[in-house]
Structure 1
Amino acid sequence: MKTLILDNYDSFTFNLYQYVAELSGNPIVKRNDEVTLDEIREMSPTHIIISPGPGHPESTQDFGVCASVIEELSMNIPILGVCLGHEGIALAFGGRICSAPEIVHGKASDIKRIESHECVYPDILKRLPGIFRAMRYHSLIIDSGFIPDELSVTAETFEDGLIMGVQHKTYPVYGVQFHPESIGTETGKYILRNFLNV
């Protein structure tokens, strides 16, 4: 297994690295502006994780090569987007990103899992409790009025129904708005293990 983590200049990337290293061996980490799409193809990663980060997924300066990775490699390589990466997945498939009702920075929320029977690939949230606690750090969300047809919503906040998880219906592509790599997300390592088993 060869996991590539694309780092969007975020301090949580090291936490992702530690979890992945424990689960499947040391991943490769590349900043979003230090590697090209062709170089990523040459690496032949088995899995790609797109990290959290500041900014907006529409901005090349903020998201770097990540948009191209989602658009060009998602048919064949399992991709997990976390926070900014999750928003970028929605954007790549035609969704819209909007401001969250409130900016959250280290908020533990109850997340409701939503079962989907439309997806070809396994649900990485499967067998989690119907409601679980997860840590959130974000100011943007996927606009629930503009969900791409290709994506299924897999999780939302219990309190107010904000989208917290998506999965592509036919590609091995997953997004979570919350942070599975945070110690405040009780099931985070389990979610990452499920992804690495796809």
Structure 2
Amino acid sequence: MAKAKLVLENGAVFEGTAFGLIGETSGEVVFNTSHTGYQEILTDPSYAGQMVVMTYPLMGNYGANEYDIESSKIWASGLIVSELSEIYSNHEAEFSLDEYLHSQGVMGIDNIDTRKLVRMLRTEGAMRGVISCAELGDDELLKKAKSIPEMTGQDLASKVTTPASYSAPAEEEHAKFHVVAYDYGIKRNILRMLTAAGCTVTVVSAQTPAHRVLALKPDGIFLSNGPGDPDAVKYAIESIKELSETTENGKHIPMFGICLGHQLLSLAFGAKTFKLKFGHHGSNHPVKNLLTGSIEITAQNHGFAVDPNSMPENLELTHLNLYDNTVAGMRHKELPVFCVQYHPEASPGPHDSHYLFKQFIGMMEEAKA
């Protein structure tokens, strides 16, 4: 196995072993607290431009396959683990995690102190970094790390969105609703949840203007997850603003946003966003539903959040992140519009927030009545 180094923009150097593609990669280094689901994490488009550190020490022990994926490819630019299992055992496994990364052209590094690395990221914040076994000079790698564009100001939705619209038919023979889903980095399990609920979904690119969405006659509009800085996606904010002001037969079209879609929806109504110190990434984040008082364990993956002090009077805070009291969900006081910062469709889990899809269905039923 080839020796490799991870060098961060603060000058920290971690020596380890390369796996997957042997070469060099870079990105913003963030950590994920999930114990499982590494394949779904790697294929989540929200990780575009980022290298993921898994806090759980052993990865790869159940292998990988062609099915446990959330998009057509790995979007994370690198994987950082404490120990990569050389053996795997699972009845659905088709190949090892090492083989999977290599086939996708993605580099990983193991045999490093991920505990030390995560404590550093928690203290100093997410940092740009380089993994390399091609260039092992610390000074040169540090220069490369510092030259990586910062996440703030980057529109990455335009890089991960679908180039052409497509349709996902409802599982039922006769669809109950037609949903238009904006693809800012949409995950496949979102489509599974919507189609299982009786919706035919038309997925459109992030840049699709409002008038083209309205021409599709949607019963509801879904705003997906995605990577990058929400404030940089100006075209999406303008389209959402126009759609929220449009009525069909005297009624507004229900809208449901998650993750980046939540942030874009908030910006469209006049709120502001800011970059979190190290973001929220994992499948064990507690959120309080302020409307019911119940606690949900949620999956989260975002580096930006909505500033609660910037929320206009017509937006109501509905969910609160119990780790740091950041905004985890809101709804419009007058329109059939709501959004959450986390992933209710979470695959492989948890499933505490599936009720939000039922809430969206209920809004469309009311709008059609």
Tell me, which stretches of 5 or more residues in structure 2 are unaligned?
Answer: 1-176, 246-251, 364-369
Contact 1:164 1:178 in 2 (8 A): yes
2:190: which partner in 1?
16
Match status 1:40 vs 2:205: no
Aligned partner (choices 70, 90, 103) of residue 240 of structure 2? 70
Contact 2:299 2:342 in 1 (8 A): yes
Q: Where does residue 226 of structure 2 map in the other structure? A: 53
The residue identity in structure 2 corresponding to 1:29 is V
Change (3 A) 1:185 1:148: farther
Which of the residues 339, 349, 356 maps onto 1:175? 339
Opposite residue 70 of structure 1, the aligned amino acid is I
CA contact (8 A) 1:90 1:148 kept: no
- Aligned AA for 1:93? F
CA distance in 2, matches of 1:22, 1:30: 19
Query: Residue 7 of structure 1: which of 175, 183, 195 is its match?
Result: 183
- Counterpart of 1:163 in structure 2 is 327
The CA deviation at 1:86 is 0.4
Q: 1:11 & 1:29 partners in 2: Cα distance?
A: 9
For residues 189 and 171 of structure 1, what CA distance do their matches in structure 2 show?
22
SS at match of 1:54: coil
Q: Which residues in structure 2 correspond to 1:41-190 (within 5 Å)? A: 41-60=214-233, 64=235, 66-75=236-245, 76-115=252-291, 130-183=294-347, 184-190=349-355
Identity value in percent: 27
Asked if structure 2 preserves the Cα contact closer than 8 Å seen for 1:83 and 1:138, the reply is yes
Aligned to 1:26: 200
Shift, 1:107, TM fit: 4.0
User: 2:227·2:260 contact (CA, 8 Å) conserved in 1?
Assistant: yes
CA-atom RMSD in angstroms:
1.7
Is 1:110–1:131's contact at 8 Å kept on the other side of the alignment? yes
Higher relative contact order (CA 8 A, sep 6+): 1
| C-alpha contact 1:150 1:168 (8 A) present in aligned 2 | yes
How many corresponding residue pairs?
A: 180
Note the C-alpha offset of 1:160: 2.3
Deviating above 4 A after TM superposition, structure 1's stretches of 4 or more consecutive aligned residues are none
**Kept in 2: contact 1:5–1:50 (CA 8 A):** yes
What letter matches 1:71 in structure 2? Answer: K
* Aligned mates of 1:96, 1:84 — CA distance in 2: 13
Deviation digits for residues 61-116 of structure 1, max 9, x if unmatched? xx64x32332112241111111101011111111110112422222421110112x
Q: Compared with structure 1, are the counterparts of its residues 24 and 68 closer, same or farther at alpha carbon in structure 2 (3 Å cutoff)?
A: farther
TM-score normalized by structure 2?
0.46
